[in-house]
Amino acid sequence: MPELPEVETVKRVLLPIVKGRTIKDVEVLRKTIVNNLENEFISFIKNETVLDMSRIGKFLIFHLTNDKVLISHLRMEGKYIELLENEDSTKYARVVFHLDNGHKLCYDDSRSFGRMIMSNEKDYLNEKEIAKLGPEPFDVDDVNPLLEKAKRISLPIKTALLSQELITGLGNIYVDEVLFASKIHPLTPAKLINKNEWEKIISESKRILAEAIELGGSTIKSYHPGKDINGEFQTRLLAYGRNRQICVLRHAFMRFIKVNGRGTTFCPRCQIKRGAPLKIAIVGKIASGKSTVLEEFRKANSCCVSSDQIVHELYAQKAIQELIIKKLKVKEEGEFVEALRNHIANNSKDLDKLEKIVHPLVKKEIEAAFKKSKAKLLVAEVPLLFKANMQNMFDIIVGVDIDEKIQIERLQLRDKEKSALLKRLNDEKNLFNEHLSEIDFIVNNNDNLACLRKEVRSIICKVEDRLNPLLPRT
């Protein structure tokens, strides 16, 4: 969706094309663009001259003769393209303005989400679409009014900024960029953003938007401001669209989540989430001590969920057994789990098929357990966190590491005959070592049980510090 820099770019490109030009005729090819007021719109526009153009947030304002004002919102894909009269109109032309110099201006919009509103110089600032807008960052010198207004908003700061009612002009791209630069987690409730943070948001908004305007905005996917017009700011993006890429500041992987349905990319190290609830994953190799770590969190009054227990319960369900047997063609010999284990041992390629069945079910059960709980810490032991690509579900990842020699000894104590098979299968799908940079806290379990518990309690104390949303977010 074009945001303030892209709309400003469109305005700067359009102004010399339309200023002083009279609109001799207009075609409405999609009525919804003009709110189904086709005849009224044609009468409103025809034979008027464009005196000037301005912009408010993401709205283009055409100032016409006879005190008329046309408000244009480009929405997702809207753009204006100038052509000669004898050229074919663009493929997705929705409104065509025929000018007095032998040119025409096509409003092109593949999704037809854009809107044009008829108004006048006296009333256009009071049109509901305009009146609700907050100030642009460039116009904010004192953040105290923002601070007071935001104190009544419990929504995440990202959602609050996207609403355009606190400040206007920031869309999905630039909100991600501003929050990353301000080191504020996108899920932080707006009411908890302090004065220093608001000053940071405004200063970074001014800097980023100014740079983006200078570079002609961002050309993202299918959006271009106009024909043969490409922005360059996308080459400077540090957050938006960089999921699974290394953060430029902290060498951690960027994460992607949905915030009220909007895709959001952030760095879990630079933008630490504070305030309850905090979602915590425990990951580690087989026989590393994950269950003990989970137990310590349980003692701290956390909501604790074991993926292994979930899988055990799923495998006990007849419908799940029948589904797996059918998909993997498991021979129904003896107890189901044993038959499945033997099948995977002899058909290793079927492990991926099994995981495609089981992982979504495990994720669903974890989410359901968390949703029901009122605990401040929501903890899940997820051995295959990275293989299942579930790391974005969590705010904090705790890893449990162990030396291979000690790991083998503990596996042999469990089941000497199957220890090698269990280790091989776990190593193939655990991916612990490959994702060390994504783990926030690592517990080393090469010593005795008391040492492990002590180290975990230390981590719990650090995590509990984050439950206080008023502590500095550094």
Positions marked catalytic: 2-3, 58, 262
Query: What is the distance between the alpha carbons of residues 169 and 342, in angstroms, rounded to a whole number?
Result: 59
Cα angle 121, 127, 132 (rounded to 5 degrees) comes to: 125
- Neighbouring-strand partners of residue 283: 399
| Identity at 205, one-letter amino acid code | S
Q: Is 98 helix (H, G, I), strand (E, B) or coil?
A: strand
| Identity at 58, one-letter amino acid code | K
SS3 sequence of 286-347? CCCCHHHHHHHHHHCCCEEEEHHHHHHHHHCCHHHHHHHHHHHCCCCCCCHHHHHHHHHHHC
Look at the alpha carbons of 368, 373, 378, 382 in this order and tell me if their dihedral is positive or negative: negative
Closest CA relative to residue 280, chosen from 290, 270, 271, 289:
290
Query: What is the distance between the alpha carbons of residues 403 and 256, in angstroms, rounded to a whole number?
Result: 32
Q: Cis check for the bond before 135: say yes or no (omega within 30 of 0).
A: no
Structure tokens at 453: 């518990």
Asked whether the beta carbons of 111 and 28 are under 8 A apart, the reply is no
| Identity at 106, one-letter amino acid code | C
